[in-house]
Amino acid sequence: MKYLEYDLWMDTNSDEENTRLTALKKWEENAACYVGEYIQTKKYLSKAFIKTYEDNFGYRGCFLTDILLSSNSKNKSDTEWRNLPICKILLSDLIDIWQLTYYGLELLEYHPATGKKSSLALTNGYLSLEFSELLQIKEDKFSHELLFSNGSSLLIHFTKISAKKIHQP
């Protein structure tokens, strides 16, 4: 994560007042920088996606329930995939299920919370999405990084994104 870092987020909840206040100040500065960059980025993404993304607070609090990779994906390892035509991520808020579809993937990379190499496995339980950063990295390439409650993150570089609700009560 470029702005909304896990360790900084943890420090905002520190019992040590000086650590907490310093972290809160830095968090506010980083959040302001991110908002500025996000405002520029969203100009290049579809209005339909941005409306859904913003109406659902960036899917904060949703659980990652599945990742669907296109059949001809080329994985470098259990934590990194490159040059995928399509990837779908399913997020659930326990009422609705959202499908985020990424097109023209350059990179899909999982960073485990432990700092050790670990494959992306959803069988150990659900990962709750705490924050995400949606940024432009090149003229026609974008980055979506998702930070989960356990400190793990998922980094996606893509050319196009869409979102749709696939289940509702």
Rounded to whole angstroms, how far apart are CA atoms 55 and 79?
Answer: 30
Q: Is residue 29 part of a domain?
A: no
**Residue 22 maps to a domain:** no
Asked whether the predicted pLDDT for residue 78 surpasses 50, the reply is yes
| Mean pLDDT on 108-113 | 85
Has residue 68 been placed in a domain?
yes
**What is the predicted pLDDT for the residue at 123?**
42
pLDDT of residue 121: 54
Has residue 114 been placed in a domain? yes
Cβ contacts of 33 within 8 Å, gap of 6 or more? 3
Lowest average pLDDT, out of 27-31, 69-73, 90-94, 152-156, goes to: 69-73
pLDDT tens digit sequence for 8-38: 999 999 999 999 999 999 999 999 999 999 9
Q: Is the pLDDT of residue 74 over 80?
A: no
For residue 150, what are the domain limits? 46-167
Angle at 145 between CA 143 and CA 151, to 5 degrees: 160
Tell me the per-residue pLDDT of 41-64, one tens digit each, with 9 for 90 and over.
999 999 999 999 999 999 999 999
Strand pairing class (63-69; 127-138): antiparallel
* Residue 73 pLDDT: 54
pLDDT confidence band for 159 (50 / 70 / 90): very high
Map residue 110 onto helix, strand or coil. strand
- CA 105 and chain centroid, separation: 14
For residues 126-152, average pLDDT = 92
Give me the number of domains the chain comprises. 1
Q: How far apart are the first and last CA of the chain?
A: 33
**Could you tell me if residue 6 is inside a domain?**
no
97, 166 Cβ separation under 8 angstroms: yes
Does residue 58 fall inside a structural domain? yes
What pLDDT, on a 0 to 100 scale, did the predictor assign at position 150? Answer: 86
Average pLDDT, the chain: 87
pLDDT at site 117 = 53
Could you tell me if residue 26 is inside a domain? no
The answer as to whether 108 is a domain residue is yes
